[in-house]
């Protein structure tokens, strides 16, 4: 934590790297699109071509999020995050650390739970309509119900965590005025 002490008067000066920023915003956009699509597709009654198309797109988004999240975790493991402002209380440091760990975990586990749910439901995942992905588990009606519930609960957990993440970022920007948000949005500097 020595690098965190290098901040004067609590203003965050360092930014995330450009690849980290790009991965952050691309994954965030895909998560929003995947969640919205999941919400819409499950409300379509019956078994229509539109519903099938939306399910395919939702799966493609999930596979893409998983792949990008793996890249992001590797990038983060090899590139330190910019330090928090020196004035950040220890409990907020701990909360930020735990929230980021949970976000990374959910970015990996949610697509995996959806993929396993598709396998248990005996529905193949064909990425972009071109690349058939292998089934990791055999079709299983009971497991299908469990995995669907897990997938939904994890998604709503992610929604709550993202709302908290955004609220914390906005608090730092508009209340604390510590420049923290400019680490991920460089044009705010």
Task: Decide if 78 is inside a domain.
Answer: yes
Is 0.85 surpassed by the pTM of this model? yes
DSSP per position, 123-166: ---EETTTEEPPPSS---HHHHHHHHHHHHHHHHHHHHHHHHHH
Overall domain count for the chain: 1
The pLDDT assigned to 179 comes to: 83
* Domain assignment present for 1: no
Q: Is residue 124 part of a domain?
A: yes
Task: Please identify every stretch of the chain with a pLDDT value under 50, giving residue numbers as ranges.
Answer: 1-13
Does 108 fall in a domain?
yes
Asked if the structure places residue 111 within a domain, the reply is yes
What digits encode the pLDDT tens for the residues 30-53?
A: 999 999 999 999 999 998 999 999
For residue 167, tell me if it sits in a domain: yes
The domain in which residue 46 lies consists of: 14-188
Residue 3 lies in a domain: no
Task: Confirm whether 5 is domain-assigned.
Answer: no
């Amino acid at each position: 934590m020595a690098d965190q002490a290098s901040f004067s008067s609590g203003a965050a000066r360092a930014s995330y790297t450009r690849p980290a920023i790009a991965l952050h915003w691309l994954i965030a956009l895909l998560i929003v699109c995947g969640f919205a699509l999941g919400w819409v597709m499950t409300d379509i009654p019956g078994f229509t071509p539109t519903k099938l198309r939306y399910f395919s797109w939702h799966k493609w988004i999930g596979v893409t999020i998983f792949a990008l999240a793996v890249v992001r975790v590797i990038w983060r493991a090899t590139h330190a995050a910019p330090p928090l402002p020196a004035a950040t209380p220890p409990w907020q440091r701990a909360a930020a650390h735990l929230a980021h760990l949970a976000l990374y975990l959910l970015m990996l586990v949610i697509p995996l739970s959806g993929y396993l749910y598709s396998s248990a439901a005996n529905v193949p995942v064909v990425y972009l309509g071109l690349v058939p992905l292998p089934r990791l588990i055999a079709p299983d009606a009971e497991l299908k119900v469990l995995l669907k519930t897990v997938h939904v609960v994890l998604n709503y957990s992610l929604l709550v965590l993202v709302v908290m993440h955004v609220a914390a970022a906005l608090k730092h920007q508009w209340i604390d005025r510590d420049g923290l948000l400019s680490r991920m949005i460089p044009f705010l500097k």
